[in-house]
Amino acid sequence: MGQKGGRDAFVSQGFDTWNKKDAFRTHVGGVDSFHSKSREKCEFLMREKQAINVVLRRQTEADDHKYKVRLRVSIIVARLLLKTVLLSIREEIGQDVFALLVDESSDVSKKEQMDIVLRYVNSLGFVKERFIGVVHVKDTSSLTLKNAINEVLTSNKLSFSQIRGQCYNGASNMSGEFDGLKALILQENDMAFYVHCFAHQLQLVVVAVAKKHDGVSDFFEQILRGLNQETTLVRAGETRWGSHFNTLTSLMKLFVDVLVVIDFVKEEGGSLANRQQASGI
């Protein structure tokens, strides 16, 4: 290979002519020789600051830093835009009245949260619905939700006295006659009339009608009772209009595996009741 010279002395043949210094000088060669390049790379590896793992870690740390900077800036920009949007909504409402739309749910980390939307008529007579935020709450009791709503309204220079309508689902903590969120707000403002969420009403109607159909009712009964014990199937709920769809989507994704499990339980179930149930499903 070029001017490398030499032979496989240190590999197989052995080396015994130590008195021939010229042979070493020839092997070492100049600064661009194979020997010199190899020695240089070896020294680089032996230097801690230039070790491969150190260089890679340094690059990773630099990438992490850049990512955090971009993320931090993105959050700052999002907060600034949100503050500007909220300021616009607040100025548009001013001292006028509005309706309050609230729903509670949990995020992917299973933390309880509350979504708040304001519905109002602007100066041109157009009806607007504006989402003003998601608030994490320690629980979904009516008093906790009311206090959280009060904080959001106060921070936007709005108050309960401006509310002329409330719209929630039919859950007791929301629309309960005596201690629900509706009742607590009515205690402070008797003009905050309550309207049962139309989407929630539609969901209840659809579920009620579906239960009157033997095939549909039996299907969902089997899904909820028979297939949803210890699986990742999504449990359907009568008050969540997307839950039945999510249940069916989940079942479709797991359908082949579900059949395998049912066949196994049908043949190997620990009790006659389990085997019969699997067979029926």
Residues 51-96 pLDDT 10s:
777 777 777 888 888 889 999 999 999 889 888 889 999 999 999 9
pLDDT at 5: 55
CATH number of 96-196: 3.30.420
pLDDT at 128: 95
* Three-class secondary structure assignment of the chain: CCCCCCCCHHHHHCCCCCCCHHHHHHHHCCCCCHHHHHHHHHHHHHCHHHCHHHHHHHHHHHHHHHHHHHHHHHHHHHHHHHHHHHHHHHHHHCCCCEEEEEEEEECCCCCEEEEEEEEEECCCCCEEEEEEEEEECCCCCHHHHHHHHHHHHHHCCCCHHHEEEEEECCCHHHHCCCCCHHHHHHHHCCCCEEEECHHHHHHHHHHHHHHCCHHHHHHHHHHHHHCCCCCCCCCCCCCCCCHHHHHHHHHHHCHHHHHHHHHHHHHHCCCHHHHHHHHHC
35: pLDDT strictly greater than 90? no
223: pLDDT strictly greater than 50? yes
pTM, entire model = 0.56
Mean pLDDT of 206-218: 85
